[in-house]
Amino acid sequence: MAEAREEGLPLAGRRILVTAQRRADDLAAPLVRRGAEVTVVPTLAVEKHIDEETLLDQTRALIAAPPRIVVITTGFGLRAWNESAIGNGLGGRLVEMLNGARVLARGPKAAGALQQIGSRADWVAASELSDEILATLRTEGVDGVEIAVQLDGGGDAGLLAGLRQAGARVIELPVYRWGPPVDPDAVAGAAVDAGVGRYDAVAFTAAPGAAAWVDSLRKAGTLDAVRALVDRGELRLVAVGARCAEPLGAAGLRAVWPERSRLGPLTRLIAEGVSQAD
C-alpha cells in the first residue's frame, strides 16, 4: 500500500463510507481516483416534488404578489424548486420574484444555489442554522410581513413557528422530504462494519442523514464502539458543514468540517486527514 501511495494514490488501502444520496457520485469519484475504496450507503432517501401542483400554485401566487422576504434553506431545495418552475414555464419569473425580494440564505450552499440560477442572497446565515435566521428576523421585526420559506426535507417547524409567533405571515414551500433508506439492510450492515473498524472515514452531506446514521449505530449496538474509534483517531467523521455535524456532536461523536460548505473542500478534508493517518 505504501508503494501505491508513493505512485500518486494517497488513499490506497483506505476505506471510506459515504452516507449521502444526493451527489454521492460527485463525492465518491475524486476519492476513488486517489485510490480509496468507497462504499456508498445512503442513510435516507430524498423524495423530490412531493406536491408539485401545490408548489406551482404557490409559485404563481408569489410571482403575482411578491413577498417582502424569501428564506432559502437548502441549495438542493432551491434547485428542485427552480426545476419545477422551468418545467412549467415559470423559471424566469421565479428568478425575477427572488430578485425583487430580500432573500436570506441558510448557509453558503443555499447562497451558492441562488447565484447558480441568476439570483443572490442579501444575507447569509454563517452558522447554517435556522435559529440564526429567526433571531435576525425577530430583531428586525417581521410583524405583518409576508415571508416565503423554502422548506428543507424535515419541514423546519421551529423556524415556521418562531416567525408566526413574531407576527409574520408565512408561506410554506415544501419542495422535497426525507424518506426511509432505499436499502435498510445495507444501512444496518454499514453500522455493524463501522463498529468493528472497517472504515477509515465516514462522510456526511446533510444533518438528517447524519442523524439517521447515528440512529443506525444505536440500533446495531455499535455507537459506543464507533465513539471509541473516533476518540482514538482510528475513524474520522467528516461533515460538509457545522450544521451537518450537529447530530454527530449531540451523540458524542467528534467530527470535522471544512470552512466552506462545498463538496470540493469536503473531499479535500477527507483526503488530507485519511492519507495522513497511520
- How is 56-121 classified by DSSP, letter by letter? HHHHHHHHHS--SEEEE--HHHHHHHHHHHHHTT-HHHHHHHHHTSEEEESSHHHHHHHHHTT---
CATH architecture label of 47-178: 3-Layer(aba) Sandwich (3.40)
Question: What pLDDT does residue 259 have?
Answer: 85
Residues with Cβ within 8 Å of residue 141, at least 6 apart in sequence? 166
pLDDT over 60 at 1, yes or no? no
Q: How confident is the model at residue 2 (pLDDT cuts 50, 70, 90)?
A: very low
Q: Tens digits of per-residue pLDDT, 253-277?
A: 999 999 887 888 999 999 887 866 6
pLDDT at 275: 67
pLDDT per residue as tens digits for the range 153-198: 877 889 999 999 999 999 999 898 888 999 999 999 999 999 999 9
Secondary structure of 100-114 in the HEC alphabet? CCEEEECCHHHHHHH
Q: What is the mean pLDDT of the chain?
A: 92
- Per-residue pLDDT at 4: 47
Domain ranges of the chain: 2-44+181-276, 47-178
pLDDT-derived band of residue 10, with 50, 70 and 90 as boundaries? confident
Q: Is there a contact between 70 and 99 (Cβ–Cβ < 8 Å)?
A: no
Instruction: Tell me 217's DSSP state.
Output: H
Overall average pLDDT of the 57-74 stretch: 96
Question: Which residues sit opposite 179 in a β-bridge?
Answer: 45
CATH architecture of 2-44+181-276: 3-Layer(aba) Sandwich (3.40)
Mean pLDDT of 83-100: 96
100-121 pLDDT per residue, tens:
999 999 988 899 999 999 999 9
Going 257 to 263 to 269 to 275, the CA torsion angle's sign is: positive
CA pair distance 9, 235, nearest whole angstrom: 20
Residue positions counted in the chain: 278
Report d(CA 247, CA 235) in Å as an integer.
17
Q: 12-47, pLDDT tens digit by residue?
A: 999 999 999 878 898 999 999 999 999 999 999 988
What's the pTM? Answer: 0.76
Grid cell locating 76: 438542493
Measuring CA to CA, which residue among 67, 60, 61 is closest to residue 98?
A: 67
- Cα distance between residue 5 and residue 9, in whole Å: 4
Specify the pLDDT at position 277.
60
Residue type, 38: V
